[in-house]
Structure 1
């Protein structure tokens, strides 16, 4: 499938519409992502901010990540489903959680990042581009 992409949280209280293709797609194994993904990675699609329309009540939390950037996670204020994340280093991009998108979106991770933090039991697709820590910013995100 190609843009536009649409999605919603578990309760339907937060919806998203995206009018662009992702800048990149990534599977993240950092410890923070493992905590929000019940021990596994998060699977993410990074889009330009101006291509995203979000409706619904969201809550957020922020922390300084191992990269040194402040990361902010937004989630549905009602059901807690993770919606997106954004970094202080790239305010013009948003990282949408692939689970937020409606079925049939056709996106898949192109890279696995923060592999230094992956547990020993993790199975990482050998076809993915691999980064032990934070990769360079996506081409558009320079």
Structure 2
């Protein structure tokens, strides 16, 4: 297991991840496209493996999956850092671009491919699903 760290653009929010990701996915849902202007690389982690230093602002809305999703960002620089789904409160989504060493992870799957624009560059080595996949199995 590698400990990973990261933070926002201005450094006001820092985080440490002490467990391995459950899943690493490139999401093409419309919400992620709005947040990143492209597909967003999302790292799904158990909530109890993530420690956060600094203040976060929140925005909650219903996602295309039907779940209420709370997105968390730095109130100073606006960097989008995390997301939580009401359907899976024990998990957190971490935006991979905010890791100090984003090369320490590798995406495994493209999701919401039905929403991807025609110009989307998807790695042909990764499988894809048209909408929301089932959650990864729980770690034991």
Q: Which interval holds the TM-score relative to the shorter structure?
A: over 0.9
- Asked if structure 2 preserves the Cα contact closer than 8 Å seen for 1:16 and 1:54, the reply is yes
- Asked if structure 1 preserves the Cα contact closer than 8 Å seen for 2:96 and 2:102, the reply is no
CA distance in 1 between partners of 2:90 and 2:50 (Å): 11
Structure 1 unaligned residues grouped into runs of 5+: none
1:28-43 alignment, distance < 5 Å: 28-38=27-37, 40-43=38-41
Q: Is residue 26 of structure 2 the alignment partner of residue 27 of structure 1? A: yes
Q: CA deviation at 1:104?
A: 5.3
- Asked if structure 1 preserves the Cα contact closer than 8 Å seen for 2:67 and 2:87, the reply is yes
Encode CA deviations 1:39-87: one digit per residue, 9 max, x unaligned.
x111011110001000111111011111110011000010001111111
The normalised TM-score by structure 1 is: 0.94
The normalised TM-score by structure 2 is: 0.95
- Number of residue pairs matched by the alignment: 139
- Asked if structure 2 preserves the Cα contact closer than 8 Å seen for 1:5 and 1:105, the reply is no
Q: CA deviation at 1:103?
A: 2.2
Moved over 6 A (4+): none
- Residue 134 (structure 2) aligns with: 136
Q: CA deviation at 1:140?
A: 1.4
